Amino acid sequence: MSQGARPALQSRSRATRDKLLKALECLLRERSFAEVTVADIAREAGLAVGTVYRRFENKDAFIPVLFEIYKQRLDAFMGSAGGVVVEPEGGLKTVLRQLTEQSWTFLTSERGVAREAHLYARLRPDLVGEEWDALLAASQDSYGTLIDAFSDEIKRPRQEAAEMLSYHFNTALTERALYPEDGVGSQMTVSDLDFVRAIADFAYGYLVTEAD
């Protein structure tokens, strides 16, 4: 299995492709990608196995497309919710909380796709590569912008802070959002709301305390 989603220019092809992706996304709510078979996807989409291979060179070819979808949704979400920094009246802490809340909302609503995106960035980085890197770079950039907007409050070097914020939100939120029933976060008694606030406050505390 290697790279390659097939071009789908015609409307019918496009529809098929979308049916397949929707079917996969649906299946990912219950199982991981590795547990889903090509036959499952075809059945869920109401298509034949061969049809899958007309649109996707092989099973792995779904992964990069899943990433793309994740990216698009993220872009769309961030675009629509992007006014965060625009209203910085509440100060850094408030902005961070708003941002965290939004990310949390996004991750929990896109759990299936997001989970595979994060999982396969680890398990099969070869299948993801540039898409993921671009996403992370964009993430760091936007945190850079945030930092600049509050540079007087922030006591950390810009580059390190941007990297660490990106890392923090990417790891801290995903664990509980994507694996709510298992994983490290499953035993906590704090509510989602308190959790999200706390995650934001970790970032806030880091930014406003002296480095040494």
Q: Does 49 bind a copy of itself (CB under 8 A)?
A: no
User: How many CA atoms, within 13 angstroms, populate the side-chain half-sphere of residue 117?
Assistant: 27
Window 95 to 114, contacts with a copy of itself (CB under 8 A): none
Q: Pick between residue 83 and residue 205 the one whose CB is nearest to a copy of itself.
A: 205
Structure tokens given for 176 = 């509980």
Q: Is the dihedral of CA 139, 145, 150, 153 positive or negative?
A: positive
* CB 71 to a copy of itself: min, Å: 15
Q: Which of 30, 50, 86, 212 binds DNA (CB under 7 A)?
A: 50
Site track 173-192 with a copy of itself (rule: CB under 8 A), x = hit: --xx--x-xxxxxxxxxx--
Structure tokens given for 25 = 């996304």
Window 51 to 70, contacts with DNA (CB under 7 A): 51-55, 57-60
Instruction: Quote the crossing angle between the two packed helices 192-208 and 91-109, to the nearest 10°.
Output: 140
Q: Is the dihedral of CA 12, 14, 19, 20 positive or negative?
A: positive
Structure tokens given for 128 = 């993801």
Spatial distance between the Cα atoms of 135 and 18, rounded to a whole number of angstroms: 23
* CB 26 to DNA: min, Å: 16
Q: Does 89 bind a copy of itself (CB under 8 A)?
A: no
* CB 109 to DNA: min, Å: 27
Site track 12-31 with DNA (rule: CB under 7 A), x = hit: xx-xx---------------
Cα-only R_g, the chain: 19
List of residues contacting DNA (CB under 7 A): 1, 10, 12-13, 15-16, 37-39, 46-55, 57-60
